[in-house]
Amino acid sequence: MTIEEIVENALDEDVGTGDVTSNLCVPEELRATGRFVAREPIVLAGVDLLPVLFGEIQIHHKAGDSLAPGDVIATVHGAAELLLTYERVSLNFLQRLSGIATLTRQYVDTVAGTKCRILDTRKTTPGLRQLEKMAVVAGGGVNHRMGLFDAVLIKNNHITAAGGVKRALEASRHAQLPIEIEVRTREELQEALEWGAKRILLDNVTPEQACEFIRMIDGRAIVELSGGMSLENVRAYAETGADFISVGALTHSARAVDINFRLELA
């Protein structure tokens, strides 16, 4: 789905057959200027959607910029009725996506100085994954797979269904896609390495357990950690020597930030 299609769906949902309040209360010929203003410290995301909604627009900051309260994100011009009709949809996108970028930046800053990078997951809002993953990048994070189609991620249930680590890796080796496998025990880790695994997922381990497994891997595979990551513990996990930490909270628990739309008559 394209960005234009996502925006169109949002407008269809919100406007439906028409904005009856603006149609009744706002003179058709009235023109206005609207300003999107940050009301708290944020990392900006979603600003690229505004030109899809508004024809006359000046964008003052780009995705990934850190903004302070009072900073003007963008200025739009046009019929007052249209600006009011599109106000909520545009704010919903900006507030939600900037919330994701802001939270992502907090995680990225927390692990700064280690080699570890912050990954997103598939725990996204249905229909908005593309935008939410763009917001993660704006915050300094890294996108994991987009969906079930562009990478092989063999988790414990797949291993059980396949009949073991070896069989799962053998079945996947001709996929011509990135392959990652989750391991739960030293035996599974050893078997995965023996059968050529180049990316290992350690899920729901303690930092001490992660250190032990990473010493066993000894640079033979890229290591991702996941499960229960928070701003309070992510630094300890990053210091284990892991290459990546995936954080579902980036997209499933980010708070929408406070952004205001101020209308002024022309």
8 A C-beta contact, residue 11 and residue 234: no
| pTM given for the model | 0.96
| Model confidence pLDDT, tens digit, residues 122-162 | 999 999 999 999 999 999 999 999 999 999 999 999 999 99
> Over the stretch 159-194, which tens digit does the pLDDT of each residue have?
999 999 999 999 999 999 999 999 999 999 999 999
Q: Which amino acid is at 155?
A: K
- Domains of the chain, earliest start first: 3-105+254-265 (3.90.1170.20), 109-252 (3.20.20.70)
Helix-helix angle 186-194:165-172, to 10 degrees? 30
Q: Known catalytic residues?
A: 88, 123, 155, 182, 203
pLDDT tens for each residue of 37-80: 999 999 999 999 999 999 999 999 999 999 999 999 999 999 99
- Contact at 8 Å (CB) between 98 and 136? no
